[in-house]
Amino acid sequence: MQTPRPVDPALAAAAHEQLYRTLRQQIMHGELAPGQHLTLRGLAKSYGVSMTPAREALRRLVAEGAVSLSASGRVMTPELSNERIEELAKLRALIEPELASRALPRAHMALIERLQVINMANAEAVVKQDAVTYIRTNLEFHRTLYLRAQAPAMLAVVETVWLQLGPTMRSLYVKLRRSEAPPTHRMILAALKAGDEPGLRLAVRTDVTQGLRHLQA
């Protein structure tokens, strides 16, 4: 009987990391619906990996709150209660204006021009009714600005919040049926150009909270 070849730990680690990052991005960008079930066998088959990388990727996502693990062992994307949505919205409203404020002294014209390009892609996604691209470009707009804050710990917390909200944001987009991009990104850009720190804080706070209120109606 032939002895099974041992699994290369480096290859297993690489497969786990790639699957984790792929699933994390899909969840954050709303590619998975709220309450969608994930199985080790299904993930391993879909992504061409063994059960071990799939198990490790899910373990990390559970720790981040991107997916939930029931007592029976079922793994699914979160279905958020109104109270949980409110809590996460308040976190965004607390942290993201601070990140924007810290980024303002480094918001040179090249950054503003980059944000304008991203915002155009965001507006095009609205016209095309492309929910995933809308969410992705919306988060890219914010992340591009916040990277200038040079506050990696704060940004990591915000990204964890985005991750938990991803499937819910997809539901929100479908519910609102937007025909044009919200004006808040233009308000953020105007405040950056003017060097208006109070106006920037207000624009960011409005942007990150107003949409989520519709889910609690």
Q: Across residues 50-60, what is the average pLDDT?
A: 88
Rounded percentage of the chain residues whose pLDDT exceeds 70:
88
For the ranges 111-120, 129-138, 164-173, the maximum mean pLDDT occurs at: 111-120
Given a cut of 50, is residue 202 above it in pLDDT? Answer: yes
Asked if 53 and 89 count as a contact pair (C-beta separation under 8 A), the reply is: no
The structural domains of the chain, ordered by start, are 9-76 (1.10.10.10), 82-216 (1.20.120.530)
Rounded percentage of the chain residues whose pLDDT exceeds 90:
47
Q: What is the spatial distance between Cα 11 and Cα 20, in angstroms, rounded to a whole number?
A: 14
Q: Which tokens sit at 99?
A: 């990140």
Q: What is the pLDDT of residue 5?
A: 45
Among the listed residues 132, 178, 148, 141, the one whose alpha carbon sits nearest the alpha carbon of residue 29 = 132
Among positive and negative, which fits the CA dihedral 114, 116, 119, 125?
negative
pLDDT band at 52 (very low <50, low <70, confident <90, very high): confident
Among the listed residues 137, 183, 129, 122, the one whose alpha carbon sits nearest the alpha carbon of residue 28 = 137
Instruction: Judge residue 26's burial from the number of C-beta atoms within 10 Å of its C-beta, 0-12 exposed, 13-18 middle, 19 or more buried.
Output: middle
Asked if 90 and 213 count as a contact pair (C-beta separation under 8 A), the reply is: no
